[in-house]
Structure 1
Amino acid sequence: MRTGTKSIGLTSASLLGLCVMATGAAAQTAASPDTDSVEASTGEIVVTASKREQKLRDVPSAITVLGGDTLANLGVQSVRDYATLTPGLAIQDSGSPGYGKIFIRGLTTGSLQQSATTVYYIDDVPFTASSANGGGAFIAPDPELTDIERIEVLKGPQGTLYGASSLGGVIRLVSKSPDASGFSGSARAEMTAIDGGGAGFSASATLNLPLVTDRLALRATGFYREAPGFADNIGTGTDNVNRSRFKGGRLALRWTPTDRLTFDLVGQLQDIDTRGPALETSVAGTLTPLYGERKHSNFFDAPTQVRYRLASVTGRYDTDLGQIIATGAYLESKLQTEVDLTSTYAPFFPVFASVGYVYPANTGVAVVSTIPAVKKTAELRFVSRRLGGIEFVAGGFYTHERVASPTDVIARDMATNARLPGPLGTIITTPINDTYEELSAFGNLTVYLTDNLDVTGGLRFAHSTEDFNASYGGVYYTAFLGGPVALPPVHSSHDQLTYLATLRWRATPTLSFFARAASGYRPGGPQVAAIVPPGAQTRINPDTVWNYEVGLKGDFLDRKLSLEASVYRIDWNDIQLYTIFNSSQLLANAGKAKVDGFEIQLAARPTELLTATANLGYTNSRLAEVDPGVTAYIGAVAGDPIPQTSPWTASATLDQLIPLGGDLQGQLGATFRYQSRRFTSFPGSISDPNMRLPGRTTFDLRAGLSYRNYQLQLRAENITDRKGIANYLPGAPASSYLMRPRSFTVSVSSKF
């Protein structure tokens, strides 16, 4: 088995060969227009994806929006759940919440990818690490979806407004804000059972407290969730080992001292503890279970720990010309994983013995990798009103990121899981320190040629620096290199420009067409390999994309039917890939790729009681060029499909409300999800043999009763119990990460 963490990726490279269209029918509750989605008096959804308030159909780019009520109704609890409802959004799963890769429109390079290509935002705060060595590719942010206004998924590069690493797009999670006009609250409790697995429960509550009428309000949210498991570790005898515990809360204070000035202070925290992965051991080179369905054999339970700590302050001041918005934030996050890699490292034990390190016969090997990050950000922007024939957004952004990421390959006694004493206990240790700093200026200008025809141009200039140092030690280095290796501190800096150009034509008040060309980039950084031969790249340059897209958005039949469709082409240049240079495995700008695709989103509301949605996405992502060293190392050649990308995805929902007399109302609903086959690696890979993962089709059913402010709901998810393989790690034996089997949930909720 292999691990997918950032540090282990570096260790392996240097040592071992190194919606639903808003589900538009789900109307959003009214909120403040500066940061939250609002519902216009006509019932139209308004978003702030372009950092200004716009009707969804008028935003000249592809966006999927999922409202908070829709998320609750469908039982969506994680990024894995809403990814299947969003064309173009995918997860490379690593078997535990908060651990994996998020990417949009096929922009990924598979298991060896080091940094993120999609940026995650919590409100106005960027969560994802920008640094090439900050571990962003291995952290799939999974904040609890309690008291959420909406989720916006912006497709295609968002380089001018959102900056670094938004090659594929941006995911924005927008929380509900305090309301000083009145008291309100909500509560929800659920119980879930998995067929053939365990049972769990959750509870959450939110209170909105006006402290000074129309001036000061506090909003408090708390949650606790025990997510049931369904995989068994026969090595330790632990059933349902992948059970997880989620707990945390959020406090938000909104102060409006004058009609023009508003301050928001937010603090939130979340802990996620997972006892073991959703893993099934497979016969090498196949998906056939080795020990039986949903069973694996590790000598310990391989826990994962995730921590989020966030504090932010935002001030907004309305002027006659527009709004000044300033945001400062402090974010701490940590991902810690433990993985059983006995099968990878045990073959080296005879070599270690030859230099005096003799391991007992019952020795197991665990990799403990931690990515603790501290990210400080600040942004100041001005969002103009429409000033005659123009409007604009202009501002500056600063971020400082620090990652101190230790990875230890340690030897443990299989019977007790205790670390072996003395030098035997440390096979490899790789403490890594990385600091990234960026300062950028950005602006978008829209010129209205006529009231229904406008053009937008955008530009962002970013200057970034990165400092990196690491050392490598332990028995492995003593055996093969004669002792520890310390890398000299390395430094790199880059300047980068990103661009945006759009043309928008509003043919009618409810129909618009757009054409969009946008660029994005992922920061480069210093070469961090233990051995860098002469002539090799000592600095990795940013990789860049250009996205060309045309689309339409419209409401028809008195908004009983909504349609969004787009066709796009992406050129990805200077891709950061691992290659072989003079027998050393290094990261380099070593390839190009192209992506063609389209996305269609429909929402139908034929009556006030019936809502239907449908989504369809097609992604054709493939390599266009690669250096010969890349082919030698990871087996990739021009024309290969990009790993982990399903060409076809589809989803649909249907919800019918049934009046039962008085204040009593029934509900029936269903959800369909489809994901076509995908490949885990490149066809010619030797170090990471390719596996074709089968497509998957699932159906969910739900039924409910509501009486005034109370609701009871029953959900059955994956009712056909279709087995899903989320990811695959080759080896002897191999490992298959599993999607959740059939489950049943009863939910009780109230709003007051």
Structure 2
Amino acid sequence: MARHADVLFVTALAMMAASPGQAAERQQISIAPGRLGEAVIALGRQTGASIGMSDQSLAGVATPAVEGRLSVEAALKRLVKGSGASIRRIDATTWRIVRTPAVVREQPRARIAQPAPQAAPEPAEIIVTASKRDTPLPRYAGMVDVVGDDAFTAGEAAGGTASLIFRVASLSSTHAGTGRNKLFIRAIADSGVAGPTQATTGQYLGDMRLNYAAPDPDLRLYDMQGVEVLEGPQGTLYGAGSLGGIVRMIPNAPNLVRAGGQVSAGLSATQHGDPGGDLAATINLPVVTEKIALRIVGYGVQDGGYIDDVLRDRHDVNRIRTYGGRAALRFAPDENWTIDLTGVFQRIEGDDAQYAAKAIGDLKRASAVAQPYSSDYALANLRVERQWDDLRFVSSTGFVRNILTESYDATPYEMAGADAPAALFRQRNKVDIFSTENRIVRDLDNGLGWILGASYLESTSDIQRSLTSYGTALMQPQVIPGVPMYGRGMAATSTGVHNRIREATLFGEASFEPMRGLIATVGGRLTNSRLTGEVLDPIALLSLAAIARAEAQANRSETIFLPSFSLLTDALPGTTVYARFQQGFRPGGLAVDDQHIQRFRNDRASTVELGFRRGIPGIDPVAVTGNVAYTRWRDIQADVTDRIGIPTTANIGDGRIYTVEGRVAVRPASRLTLDGSIIYNDSRLSRPAQFLRLLSYEGQSLSLPNVANWGGRVGFDYRAPMGGDMRLQLSGSARYVGKSRLGVGPILGREQGDYVDTALSAALTHGTVQWSLSLTNLLDSSGNRFSLGTPFDLSGDYVTPLRPRTVRLGLDFAF
């Protein structure tokens, strides 16, 4: 039986901010006598190289002092001389130390390192860092998408989450607007309406949680080392809010040795719409060489509008401006300690909503009033890591504030017209998250080992609402019972809600090998949740007794245990087969509208899946991955709308989901890669709640919303040298999104989806300068990404079209 002999022992991973030729440059190197593991850490920090070790026992080999102005290759040769080990070059900045003369079967390296343009690289291991135990991909029991180093061009980085969705077939979104979308993985989707319930997909920046009871903050993807998407519930390691899976963004860390950076700029033109542009800069500054470094990213993006409002005689109303930045300070007092302090800020300003009315035109609608929105996002995180050989301690503590302000046209649609008195409903959701996690991890032989940790999270959500009417106070129609219509642009307060959740957690997971070629992993998470809820600014129609009763029900404590189990075998050469069981949950809370106050219960999803993978994408001539999953989802929480149109949350019943996925990557030549993926979801609300049975047809089984039954993607990537230091890259892809429904039941049951999105790009690199040209939506298809316009008019034929055909010309310069 073939064995996976390589064990990843990442001893240095310095982020690149200089040209690929740095590995061959001579640099001043000073390494004291010691052990090989410590020596390569120091060498990586001094040179910016990434150095892996195939056999962990080599880390304890004694090494001599290395002094002088040397290349990375020369320094490594001195370190391994006489040790029984040799070095292998992976690419321009990546090396591996292997024991000789053993012959091993290579595996891909973490986060998909870029191939050197002049020759095909040696395979390097892909590491699933989101497993929190740096698990090699062949020994990870589950479906994972790894978008690795240099995978996002500047144009894609400017697109944020939309660029990631285009690449990952199992990831979908509501498309309500940048910074206000919900993300879904597989078919774990509750609804497209924005209410107080927690997200079904967990999002992380490194080890820091990005969201809780709020939509995707849609951070731009500049200066990212990679993104990992884990599919299926991840309750054991990530706790509440990971029912569908997690998205983990990995930013480039400060380089302790080398100063440098990059500037990128782009201009775009959208057919039928306004022009746009993007500008970004990254700079890396070592403050104290090998000890302290600062890395700063700043950006600004403008997406031109393309929707016309015929009632207000406005063109291209849905322009969006995004600006923000990220700063990271790294302090490494010695080779065992790493301390990172990170701050993030981003603001999104949308001039108007991006939906159209099908009866008027593909890119037109008639609204009585503009519907602007904004998103302010801020994050601070402190991460401390301590390493002892194969044992490490990680502590991550941080705070997030996310303020999303939305507005909806609340003009009574039966009175819509040039002289109708306009009304605007506003909702402001302020979410604060404090979280801390402390864990001890032991990485043993090739995916074996254990993790033990504790965490605490406190999240508060304040949803405040108001209704503003225009025109005169006379003849104002009632929009929300109990909320006055003052007219003349005066706002009246509508009922809001405050929810607070405190979670204290213990979790653990261990992998062991009961027999040769079989790995078993068991884990569990014990969480105690304390929940409180209260009504904000209740209207006079609400009974004080009803408010007190609902708040008393919302204030409670819950203790939940989430088990996990998996089996994996690599007994067949080059093939991994696995079975996995995992659970996820979301705590309950308090939801209100202007008619009722109610508590919604926690929900829980349990998934059983079987899968296999054979071959290494980008390395082997053919690589294939397949997966079949069954999910049972109980007491589903869903953000819905009442009969008036106000967002609220309710338990809509139990559901079940079947998912089948397949992926293939073909490498017919060293310079060309072809890939394809397909996903099928069969989701049903198998036991609808009573209020849905009354609305539906004889209680028939209903589909879960927002996720297409079919989806798929095909793409190609071609890279070739052009002579000298010039390189050419061509890439293209097409993604099909099948039919889905906006929500559950006949009121929100309108169809959406069933469109193809396309993209094509070319880039020419000359030294440190790169010119790029990209085209999106080549067919200029309108499609329908999302069928919700304003929730106050659910009978309208609203659609959210794709951005029309867009061309972007970009320039990138590294220094």
**Shift in alpha-carbon separation, 1:484–1:549, aligned structure 2, 3 A:** closer
Aligned residue for 2:609? 549
Distance 1:724 1:323 in 2: 49
Distance 2:508 2:586 in 1: 19
Aligned residue for 1:574? 635
Distance 1:610 1:392 in 2: 39
**Shift in alpha-carbon separation, 1:635–1:244, aligned structure 2, 3 A:** farther
Q: How does 1:637-716 map to 2 (within 5 A)?
A: 637-682=699-744, 684-685=745-746, 688-716=747-775
Residue 258 of structure 2, aligned match among 182, 186, 204:
182
* 8 Å Cα contact 1:512/1:554 also seen in 2: yes
Distance 1:366 1:441 in 2: 46
Distance 2:638 2:758 in 1: 38
**Shift in alpha-carbon separation, 1:240–1:68, aligned structure 2, 3 A:** farther
* 1:116 equivalent in alignment to 2:206: no
Which residue type is aligned with residue 746 of structure 1?
Answer: L
Residue 247 of structure 1, aligned match among 299, 320, 323:
323
Identity of aligned residues (%): 25
Q: How does 1:17-416 map to 2 (within 5 A)?
A: 37=111, 42-72=123-153, 75=156, 77-94=159-176, 96-111=177-192, 114-129=197-212, 134=213, 136=214, 139-281=215-357, 288-290=358-360, 292-320=361-389, 322-343=391-412, 363-386=421-444, 391-413=449-471
Residue 616 of structure 1, aligned match among 678, 684, 687:
678
**Shift in alpha-carbon separation, 1:691–1:588, aligned structure 2, 3 A:** closer
Aligned residue for 1:719? 778
Distance 1:289 1:604 in 2: 44
Q: How does 1:461-480 map to 2 (within 5 A)?
A: 461-471=526-536, 473=538, 477=540
**Shift in alpha-carbon separation, 1:545–1:110, aligned structure 2, 3 A:** same
Distance 1:484 1:247 in 2: 46
* 8 Å Cα contact 1:470/1:487 also seen in 2: no
* 1:498 equivalent in alignment to 2:562: yes
RMSD of aligned Cα (Å)? 3.3
Which residue type is aligned with residue 635 of structure 2?
Answer: D
* 8 Å Cα contact 2:655/2:687 also seen in 1: yes
Distance 1:249 1:414 in 2: 44
**Shift in alpha-carbon separation, 1:681–1:435, aligned structure 2, 3 A:** closer
Distance 2:403 2:591 in 1: 24
Which residue type is aligned with residue 535 of structure 2?
Answer: A
**Shift in alpha-carbon separation, 1:550–1:388, aligned structure 2, 3 A:** closer
Deviation at 1:191, TM superposition (A): 0.8
| Greater CA drift, 45-54 or 259-268 | 45-54
Report SS of the residue matched to 1:695. Answer: strand
Report SS of the residue matched to 2:691. Answer: helix
The structure with the largest alpha-carbon Rg is 2
Residue 562 of structure 1, aligned match among 612, 623, 634:
623
* 8 Å Cα contact 1:310/1:329 also seen in 2: yes
Report SS of the residue matched to 2:237. Answer: helix
Report SS of the residue matched to 2:182. Answer: strand
* 8 Å Cα contact 2:111/2:149 also seen in 1: no
Aligned residue for 2:38? none
Which residue type is aligned with residue 526 of structure 2?
Answer: F
| Greater CA drift, 560-569 or 511-520 | 560-569
* 1:522 equivalent in alignment to 2:586: yes
Report SS of the residue matched to 1:82. Answer: helix
**Shift in alpha-carbon separation, 1:575–1:529, aligned structure 2, 3 A:** same
* 1:459 equivalent in alignment to 2:524: yes
Query: Which of 1 and 2 has higher RCO (CA within 8 Å, sep 6+)?
Result: 1
Aligned residue for 1:738? 801
| Greater CA drift, 310-319 or 183-192 | 183-192
* 1:512 equivalent in alignment to 2:588: no
* 1:438 equivalent in alignment to 2:503: yes
| Greater CA drift, 670-679 or 548-557 | 548-557
Distance 1:501 1:339 in 2: 45
Q: Which runs of 5+ in 1 are unaligned?
A: 1-27, 282-287, 348-359
Distance 2:660 2:346 in 1: 36
Aligned residue for 1:9? none
* 8 Å Cα contact 1:579/1:634 also seen in 2: no
* 8 Å Cα contact 2:191/2:639 also seen in 1: no
Q: How many residues align?
A: 682
**Shift in alpha-carbon separation, 1:246–1:539, aligned structure 2, 3 A:** closer
Report SS of the residue matched to 1:80. Answer: helix
Distance 1:403 1:377 in 2: 15
* 8 Å Cα contact 2:261/2:814 also seen in 1: yes
Report SS of the residue matched to 1:93. Answer: coil
**Shift in alpha-carbon separation, 1:587–1:389, aligned structure 2, 3 A:** closer
Report SS of the residue matched to 2:211. Answer: coil
1:74-100 per-residue CA deviation (whole Å, 9 max, x = no partner) reads 835222332232132111121x20112
Distance 1:313 1:170 in 2: 21
Distance 1:528 1:52 in 2: 42
Q: TM-score normalized by structure 2?
A: 0.78
Q: Which runs of 5+ in 2 are unaligned?
A: 1-14, 17-48, 53-108, 114-120, 474-483
* 8 Å Cα contact 2:111/2:147 also seen in 1: no
* 8 Å Cα contact 1:311/1:330 also seen in 2: yes
Distance 2:370 2:447 in 1: 62
Distance 2:446 2:461 in 1: 47
* 1:604 equivalent in alignment to 2:687: no
1:242-285 per-residue CA deviation (whole Å, 9 max, x = no partner) reads 1111111111011110111110000110111110111212xxxx
1:112-162 per-residue CA deviation (whole Å, 9 max, x = no partner) reads 573321111111111221xxxx4x3xx122001100111111100000000
* 1:592 equivalent in alignment to 2:675: no
Q: TM-score normalized by structure 1?
A: 0.84
**Shift in alpha-carbon separation, 1:398–1:334, aligned structure 2, 3 A:** same
Distance 1:385 1:68 in 2: 23
1:173-208 per-residue CA deviation (whole Å, 9 max, x = no partner) reads 111111113123122111111111110110111111
Report SS of the residue matched to 1:110. Answer: coil
Report SS of the residue matched to 2:786. Answer: strand
**Shift in alpha-carbon separation, 1:41–1:126, aligned structure 2, 3 A:** farther
**Shift in alpha-carbon separation, 1:368–1:333, aligned structure 2, 3 A:** same
1:188-245 per-residue CA deviation (whole Å, 9 max, x = no partner) reads 1111111111101101111111222222211111101111111112333332111111
Which residue type is aligned with residue 610 of structure 2?
Answer: V
**Shift in alpha-carbon separation, 1:423–1:497, aligned structure 2, 3 A:** farther
**Shift in alpha-carbon separation, 1:580–1:423, aligned structure 2, 3 A:** closer
